[in-house]
Amino acid sequence: MGVTMNPKTDIEIAQHTKLVPIQKLIDDLDLLEDDVELYGKYKAKLSLNTLERLQDKKDGKIILVTAINPTPAGEGKSTVTVGLGQAFNLLNKKAIIAMREPSLGPTMGMKGGATGGGYSQVLPMEDINLHFTGDIHAITTANNALAAFIDNHIHQGNDLRIDPRRILWKRVLDLNDRALRNVTIGLGGVTNGMPREDHFDITVASEIMAILCLAKDIPDLRFRIARIVVGYSFEKMPISVADLGYEGALTLLLKDAIKPNLVQTMEHTPAIIHGGPFANIAHGCNSLIATKIAAKLGDYVVTEAGFGADLGAEKFLHIKARVGQFKPAAVVIVATIRALKMHGGVAKDELTNENVTALGKGIENLQKHIETIKAFGLPYVVAINKFVIDTENEVLTLLTWCNENDHPVSLTEVWEKGGKGGLQLAEMVINIIDNSQNNFTPLYNTKDSIKEKILEIARTVYGAKSVDYTTKAEKQIKEFEKFGWSTFPICMAKTQYSLSDSSQKLGRPRDFTVTIREFKPSIGAGFIVALTGEIMTMPGLPKKPAALNMNVTDKGQATGLY
Amino acid sequence: MGVTMNPKTDIEIAQHTKLVPIQKLIDDLDLLEDDVELYGKYKAKLSLNTLERLQDKKDGKIILVTAINPTPAGEGKSTVTVGLGQAFNLLNKKAIIAMREPSLGPTMGMKGGATGGGYSQVLPMEDINLHFTGDIHAITTANNALAAFIDNHIHQGNDLRIDPRRILWKRVLDLNDRALRNVTIGLGGVTNGMPREDHFDITVASEIMAILCLAKDIPDLRFRIARIVVGYSFEKMPISVADLGYEGALTLLLKDAIKPNLVQTMEHTPAIIHGGPFANIAHGCNSLIATKIAAKLGDYVVTEAGFGADLGAEKFLHIKARVGQFKPAAVVIVATIRALKMHGGVAKDELTNENVTALGKGIENLQKHIETIKAFGLPYVVAINKFVIDTENEVLTLLTWCNENDHPVSLTEVWEKGGKGGLQLAEMVINIIDNSQNNFTPLYNTKDSIKEKILEIARTVYGAKSVDYTTKAEKQIKEFEKFGWSTFPICMAKTQYSLSDSSQKLGRPRDFTVTIREFKPSIGAGFIVALTGEIMTMPGLPKKPAALNMNVTDKGQATGLY
């Protein structure tokens, strides 16, 4: 993610960086021996007891990094998050970064890793982008163990009368594998189970991932797992994990995955990397436990949420902040000139050419996201993530627009310069935290009806005119009300490329209607997913996957990761 | 596995044991800081450089622990392996244990863990039996990434002309899940891949697991992965991973999994737990690298191979020892009175009753395995793994038979007494190593034809009269000869319950014919699997899986594992 003209790749820059032993960070953070478990020399897991031990300590300020609607390459939100954390440290502020764990699927496929870029990366990037400390594998295992338990229950007599046609629970793999999107299982006769249709998602789309990221502690993890609705009986009544009796075993499988992981940035700023739910089918933020521990260990916590402010930030503020009962101190909205030009109508292959007119038009996308953050009552700074291809005229146009409209703005060069490239941004963030009003208020109350909640998000966050529901969705609302599920928050599943539910409508669409196609109850996680359009929960591989370039030296060093 | 009348369960005994920090073992073994990576306080990974650093050091003696044909509950081979290692330590001998990593499938299903039992366990048993250091998850990921690459290749134009009906490569999960044995994938139209039949195995049955356990170093790992045959083209020619171009990425995914794991027994004897290929479809031994490192670090290495001597030991001696170019120093043959009575015709629910006559008859099973080890030219000791239910008469009968026939024998009580219960066994093993002839010779030469190799195993190891081949198997032999695969060793896939290929034929069957149903080329691992009868490569769950009893305390401690 970031400048592409630099001769060094991310992995080359990363492998030329001298890491300090993680024990040094542990000591600097005043963590005790019982608070940590080392995973090699540069990774550690933090014990949940740390939170309990530090419960009376004042929390640090939580800064959310979000973005405009991205291009397929992303806007460098992770890079800005890491760079901003590093900048705080250069200002001698005790800052900690909290980020999501990357999924192997996109790493091996097209997108590359998700550990920042250039001189703003979290390290060791090879480990973090591959298996890391095994959290995602544990989630895959717990998810698929539950699937096996469900099919075994049906095979062994089906006391709960689970309807094989109404199973919601899917299997998962942490890979991009389109061939597993739609499968039939249980074939081959009586000894091989009950034949039925099934589907595989990528692991980060699993409800277990969302649960792990919202759980407060082990009892809460078990409570949420127990209430997962895996499907319906022949009598159309919900069947939960508690009905099956496996909440203990599934929680046991996650007993280490729930512990946050401590690593460092290239400038040795502490970073807690933990959990990584998809920002479409789930809420798209690192774990609540990671954010809470970071707030106990640092004076400033820099964290991010997936995709643009219409998806990640909305869910961070409505779901994660609500469960965690915390108030963010400020929001950073990342924009790139390249993406704003795209929102202004420039075709993908012409984004490298200067186009001030298109930029001026595309700015309305940024403007909408600023309005959204204002609607939540939060102070903000716009961070322009500078690319080498950006022209002076373009940069000036964007800065001028921000200044004329009183939007705090900073041109950041964290990819190229690390923390130094984000010093002004850090200073502005500190300034707005200290001197601006913070009237953080969620846009809806959970007691509002499902339709009221969705209308509020669609109008205020997306700028839509109205919301339509398919017949199926209408029917589901009635069912969910009957089951007592209507007081959960809403988790919108929508394209990340547009403020609307149509990926083609760039810029700032107006007068549009959002169509809710279907709902998915994520009762374990504690939200109702509202699906608009087709949401991809199992990506495919491109013709030439990134994996073709990956290798390892005879001494065991990774090559070709980026 | 072991005595069931003891009031304490394995996990209770384990959790009442005070572990020493793994750093203490590291120091005692004279390992350097660069040789190890800590995984928490009680686990460490050993760097492959350790082997290089110690290459001029003399190797320790390798002792193989094998068994008679087991009952479904197993004969306590792991328990004896751990107990024997502990006994060596009590005798002030520098001993190291090398064992396989348990698979989660059986742990959550029926069998329970595979970390020994009673006072002869490797610890921390909760970690080892669950995700451990993530090796098996890395293998699952590499296996399934390759499957995704194959299906993506077909979807994206199929330049290699892979015949979707002739794909050998299966997907895997480290779970017991019968519903995934036979599946159809790629359904749902053009964007979701090419529809085809597929199958899931349990991860420990993956060829990647066998490869990891036979690779000498990272270049050898990549070499073996590159030559995996994933299927055939429409022209019926083999297609390899090298043809697809993913050997680099797949090796990268295994760069940490190939490092052996150091833990400790209940008496703080060092144990290297690494790799765990099935003993039916694969060769059933811990990794060669683990055994090699153990031999550099200890004067005695106690290691095991899966199932009875007809399966695990045969493959240990013909496949692993050949690849590793080492000569075992001695063999321990574990027998239980319970299993010998079963071989003598006693029904499962009457095994708790004294039956000296049946025992006397069942001893012929033990006798055959002794003959096999003698045929390999190796010295041996029979270890009777004593259970509380064994009567004095029964024990005396077995001891007398061994003594009258000049078979070194020791009554061991390692489950109940730990190392102390295996002192005599350890002394006898040292004695036969020092004073017996060791004329170790493989029974066949790899240059022999496929049929010659199989006939030799069937006659000398199983006691069969002859070998039959199905028409399919005959056709495959011709094909394999054409592809140049006939000089690989044979990996027999056979029921573990009988010396024959029929699980019903207990004791010492004679005059039987072994039928080779089909071959499976494991070209990456470097052997040809010969399948007799139906071999289960994806177990199912019982009606009440062990997982129903598992849980975790609010403080994160495992319960209900056994």
DSSP helix, strand, coil percent of chain A (3-state; round to 5): 40, 20, 40
Q: Which amino acid is at B50?
A: T
Cα B53–Cα B59–Cα B63 angle in degrees, nearest 5: 135
Question: Average pLDDT in the A523-545 region?
Answer: 94
Pick the residue of B33, B51, B131, B536 with the most A CBs within 10 A to test the interface with A by mutation. Answer: B131
Q: What's this model's pTM, rounded to 2 decimal places?
A: 0.96
- What DSSP string describes A500-550? SSSTT--S---S-EEEE-EEEEETTTTEEEEE-S---SS----SS-GGGG-
Q: Which of B178, B540, B551 sits opposite A252 (nearest CB)?
A: B551
Residue of A127, A156, A180, A562 to mutate, testing the B interface (most B Cβ within 10 Å of its Cβ):
A180
Residues B259 and B22: their CA atoms lie apart, in Å, by 16
What's residue B474's pLDDT?
98
- Give me the mean pLDDT over the A103-123 stretch: 86
* CA angle centred on A402, ends A397 and A403, rounded to 5°: 100
pLDDT at A4 over 50: no
Phi, psi at residue A123, to the nearest 5°?
-130, 160
Contact A178 B155 (CB under 8 A): yes
Q: Is B264 helix (H, G, I), strand (E, B) or coil?
A: strand
| Other CB atoms within 10 Å distance of the CB of residue A520 | 18
pLDDT tens for A12-27 read 888 889 999 999 999 9
pLDDT band at B209 (very low <50, low <70, confident <90, very high): very high
Contacts of A252 (CB under 8 A, 6+ apart): B130, B550, B551, B552, B558, B559, B560, B561
pLDDT at A5 over 70: no
Provide the 3-class DSSP secondary structure of residue A247. helix
Between CA B383 and CA B414 the distance in angstroms is 11
Report the pLDDT averaged over residues B188-196: 97
CB atoms within 10 A of CB B468: 13
CA dihedral sign, ordered B334, B337, B338, B344: positive
State the sign of the Cα–Cα–Cα–Cα dihedral A190, A194, A197, A202.
negative
| Chain A interface disruption, residue of B38, B183, B246, most A CBs within 10 A | B183
What pLDDT score was predicted for residue B561?
A: 86
The CA distance from A540 to the nearest CA of chain B, in Å, is 8
Residue B323 has pLDDT above 70, yes or no: yes
Using the structure block, give the residue that is written with the tokens 């009269």: B465
Residue length of chain A: 562
> A147–B177: do the CB atoms touch at under 8 Å?
yes
Whether residue B1 has pLDDT greater than 50: no
Among the partner-chain residues A137, A145, A148, the one whose CB lies closest to the CB of B134 is A137
Q: Inspect the interface and report whether the beta carbons of B252 and A178 lie closer than 8 Å.
A: no
How confident is the model over B40-55, as a mean pLDDT? 94
Q: Which residues of B touch A180 (CB under 8 A)?
A: 185
Residue A112 pLDDT:
60
- Poorest-pLDDT segment among A50-54, A408-412, B398-402: A50-54
3-class secondary structure, A146: helix
Give the closest-approach CA distance of B500 to chain A in angstroms: 24
Which residues of chain B make contact with A549, given a CB cutoff of 8 A? 248
User: Quick one: pLDDT at residue B536?
Assistant: 87
- Given a cut of 50, is residue B2 above it in pLDDT? no
**Which residues of A fall within a CB distance of 8 Å from B174?**
141
To the nearest whole Å, the CA of A521 is away from the closest chain B CA by: 24
**Cα separation, A114 vs A304, whole angstroms:** 12
Return the residue matching tokens 């102070």: A379
Work out whether strand A44-46 and strand A261-265 pair parallel, antiparallel, or are unpaired. antiparallel
Q: What is the pLDDT of residue B111?
A: 61
Q: Which tens digit of pLDDT belongs to each residue from A362-396?
A: 999 999 999 999 999 999 999 999 998 999 999 99
The catalytic residue among B61, B111, B170, B292 is B111
Phi-psi group of A334: left, alpha or beta (phi > 0 → left; psi -120 to 50 → alpha; rest → beta): beta
Taking the C-alpha atoms of residue A419 and residue A88, their distance in angstroms, rounded to an integer, is: 8
Please tell me the distance from the alpha carbon of residue A209 to that of residue A246, in angstroms, as a whole number: 17
Q: Is the pLDDT of residue B540 over 90?
A: yes
Q: Do B147 and A555 touch (CB under 8 A)?
A: no
Task: Look at residues A189, A196, A199, A209 and name the one whose alpha carbon lies nearest to residue A162.
Answer: A196
**B517 labelled catalytic:** no
**Which chain A residues contact residue B245 at CB under 8 A?**
548
Contact B453, B529 (CB under 8 A): no
For residue A34, count CB atoms less than 10 angstroms from its CB and return exposed for 0-12, middle for 13-18, buried for 19 or more.
exposed
Using an 8 Å CB-CB cutoff, list chain B residues near A543: 156-157
Say yes or no to pLDDT of A562 above 90.
no
Phi, psi of A234 (to 5 degrees): -60, -20
Alpha carbons B93 and B79: distance in angstroms, whole number = 19
Nearest CA in chain A to B132: A134
CB pair distance less than 8 Å for B251 and A551: yes
Known active-site residue A88? no
B111 is catalytic: yes
Task: Tell me the C-alpha distance between B220 and A314, whole Å.
Answer: 50
Residues A392-431 have pLDDT tens digits of 999 999 999 999 999 999 999 999 999 999 999 999 999 9
Q: For residues B305 and B290, is the Cβ–Cβ distance under 8 A? A: no
Report whether pLDDT(A3) > 50. Answer: no
Backbone φ, ψ for residue B341 (5° rounding): -65, -40
pLDDT at res. A361: 97
In this predicted structure, what is the pLDDT of residue A7?
57
Q: Which of A142-151, B116-125, B445-454, B474-483 has the lowest mean pLDDT?
A: B116-125
| Range with lowest mean pLDDT among B49-53, B84-88, B257-261 | B49-53
Residue A2's pLDDT band (cuts 50, 70, 90) = very low
A495 marked among binding-site residues: no
Q: Could you tell me if B63 and B429 are in contact, meaning their C-beta atoms sit under 8 angstroms apart? A: yes
Residue A443 CA to residue A460 CA, distance in Å, equals 8
Mean pLDDT on A552-557:
93
Portion of chain A with pLDDT greater than 70, in percent: 98
pLDDT on residue B423:
98
| A141–B253 CB contact, under 8 Å | no
Is the CB of A148 less than 8 angstroms away from the CB of B48?
no
**According to the annotation, is A76 in a ligand binding site?**
yes
Is the pLDDT at B73 greater than 80? The verdict is: no
Q: Greater confidence, B26 or B535?
A: B26
What's the full length of chain B, in residues? Answer: 562
A246·B145 Cβ contact <8 A? no
Task: Evaluate the CA torsion angle A507, A508, A513, A515 in order and state its sign.
Answer: positive
Nearest chain B CA: its distance from A426 CA (Å) = 35
Pick the more confident residue, B114 or B258. Answer: B258
Residues of chain A contacting residue B148, judged by C-beta atoms under 8 Å apart: 175-177, 179, 541
| Cβ–Cβ < 8 Å for A493, A284 | no
* Pairwise CB contact (< 8 Å): B256 & A131: yes
The DSSP line for B62-126 is: EEEEEESSPPTT---HHHHHHHHHHHHHHTT--EEEEEPPPPHHHHHSSS---SEETTEEEE-HH
Instruction: State whether B141 and A249 contact (CB < 8 Å).
Output: no
The residue with tokens 């924009």 is A335
Which residues on A lie below 8 Å from B167 (Cβ)?
Answer: none
For chains A and B, count residue pairs whose Cβ atoms are closer than 8 Å. 240
| CA–CA distance, B183 with B186 (Å, rounded to integer) | 10
Confidence (pLDDT) at B78: 94
What band does B4 get if pLDDT is binned at 50, 70 and 90?
very low
Instruction: Give me the catalytic one of B307, B376, B480, B488.
Output: B307
CA Rg value for chain B: 23
Contacts 24+ apart (CB under 8 A), B318-321: B318/B442, B318/B443, B318/B444, B318/B457, B318/B489, B318/B490, B319/B214, B319/B283, B319/B489, B319/B491, B319/B526, B319/B527, B320/B213, B320/B214, B320/B283, B320/B285, B320/B288, B320/B291, B321/B440, B321/B442
Q: Do A141 and B174 touch (CB under 8 A)?
A: yes
- For B153, how many CA atoms within 13 A lie in the half-sphere containing its CB? 26
Question: By CB neighbour count within 10 A (0-12 exposed, 13-18 middle, 19+ buried), where does A19 fall?
Answer: middle
Residues of A whose CB is below 8 A from B255: 130, 552, 556, 558
ipTM of the complex as predicted: 0.96
CB-CB contact of B110 with B546 (8 Å): yes
pLDDT at position A45 over 70: yes
In this complex, which of B37, B219, B558 lies closest to A554 when CB atoms are compared? Answer: B219
Report CA Rg, chain A.
Answer: 23
Q: Closest Cα to residue B194, out of B147, B243, B144?
A: B147
> Which structure tokens are listed for A485?
């599920």
How far lies A371's CA from each of A366, A375, A439, B451, in Å? Answer: 9, 6, 14, 78
What is the percentage of chain A residues whose pLDDT exceeds 90?
92
B178:A541 CB<8 A: no
Q: Does the pLDDT value for residue A561 go beyond 90?
A: no
B387 assigned to active site: yes
Structure tokens at B376: 């390999």
Best B37, B152, B197, B217 member to test A by mutation, with max A CBs in 10 Å, is B152
* List of chain A residues whose C-beta atoms are within 8 Å of the C-beta of residue B48: 556
Q: Map B63-77 to HEC letters.
A: EEEEECCCCCCCCCH
Name the burial class of residue A233, with classes exposed (0-12), middle (13-18) and buried (19+) by CB atoms within 10 angstroms of its CB: middle
**Interatomic CA distance for residues A233 and A235, integer angstroms:** 5
Spatial CA neighbour of A433 closest among A318, A331, A556? A331
Residue A6 has pLDDT above 60, yes or no: no
Beta bridge partners of B301: B62, B96
Whole-number pLDDT of residue A236: 97
List the structure tokens of B346. Answer: 């006693």
Q: Which candidate in A415, A485, A519, A527 is catalytic?
A: A415
Q: Which residue of A has its CA nearest to B130?
A: A253
**Interface contact flag, A152 B183, Cβ < 8 Å:** no
Give the up-direction half-sphere exposure of residue B10: CA atoms within 13 A in the CB hemisphere. Answer: 25
Q: Is A74 annotated as contributing to ligand binding?
A: yes
The CA–CA distances, whole Å, from A94 to A85, A425, B124 equal 9, 16, 36
Q: Which of A107, A63, A54 is nearest to A429 (CA)?
A: A63
Is A61 marked within a binding site? no
Token pair, residue A502, equals 């149509």
From B39, B173, B248, residue closest to A552, measured CB to CB: B248
The closest CB to that of B104, out of A141, A217, A550, belongs to A141
- Contact at CB, A218 and B552, closer than 8 angstroms: yes
What pLDDT, on the 0 to 100 scale, is given for residue A13?
87
Answer yes or no: A24 catalytic: no
Taking CB atoms and an 8 Å cutoff, what residues of chain B touch A256?
127, 131
